[in-house]
Structure 1
Amino acid sequence: MTSIEAVRGDLTAETTDAIVNAANSSLLGGGGVDGAIHAAAGPRLLEACRRVRRTSWPDGLPIGEAVATDAFDLPCRWVIHTVGPNAHRGQTDPALLASCFTRSLDIAAELGATSIAFPAVSAGAYGWDPADVARIAVQAVREHPKPGIELVRFVLFGDRLLDAFRHALT
């Protein structure tokens, strides 16, 4: 059985097998979680993302899709990049947001990861309500088969997000 938890913390310090990056479709870095992960992983992460763009996703990673790279200078093994829907641009389909979590779990399972840490995808600059993100994320993770994954951790940077995820987990 998979353990699912919510903690307050720094995603870039997680020692789970994989962490999930709330990326933009370019995969070339940005602000918030994306910027912090790129800064902590070092410049090789950007080069790995450029390679993904050249080889697999030349038009950018679609919303709700996920792709993995090595983690380089981070304490985890892999970074799984996913693109959340942007509510400010009218992207409010809960299925697209749920797909960020389920596709990331699919990639983690393919890699052989036994643990994964998620941020609150789309709850920051992309304008989704934290309670909605928490409800959709927790439901998506609970309903996903998660083969081989023993721990799913939501790592949240503020009390409002942590409270929303703890409520969704009850």
Structure 2
Amino acid sequence: MSEKIFNVLFLCRGNSARSIMAEAILEREGTGRFKAYSAGSHPRGEVHPYAADLLQKFNHPVDGLRSKNWDEFSSDDAPKMDFVFTVCDQTANEVCPTWPGKPMTAHWGCTDPVAVEGTEAEIRAGFADVYGQLANRISVFVNLPLAALDRLSLQRRLDEMGGKAKEMV
């Protein structure tokens, strides 16, 4: 019998950097156990070039990554999500759609690297910092004993990973 593959959706406002990086990281780190997706409440319509460059630098495939609206994941024919994580404070405070599958949710807020100002090196360092934060959280997440944790214990662990609890609709 094969092990369940968990669907995970990462959300941020623009779906051009943070959620895209999280999708790429989980897609690689969770191979065989997780299927990663990302979306935005107000997608920019393109992956930020610094995010794409950074992902390529760390050998993540970027060909299939695209900025998309979260409505793609709220319809009846959308993949049923097991987990939904917001990675920006703005989106965490928005009224989210109802997700098919009644997923567990948590807020894993990260600074918006697109908003970093300064030299090109400083801006790229901002992207790298966020990548590191997401990679660390995702590494812990993929190594959680999901089958051994009850729903309440798992929710507590997910919230702790983000630094604060967040109730999503």
Q: Larger strand proportion, structure 1 or 2?
A: 1
Larger Rg: 2
Q: With the length of structure 2 as denominator, give the TM-score of the two structures.
A: 0.35
Q: With the length of structure 1 as denominator, give the TM-score of the two structures.
A: 0.35
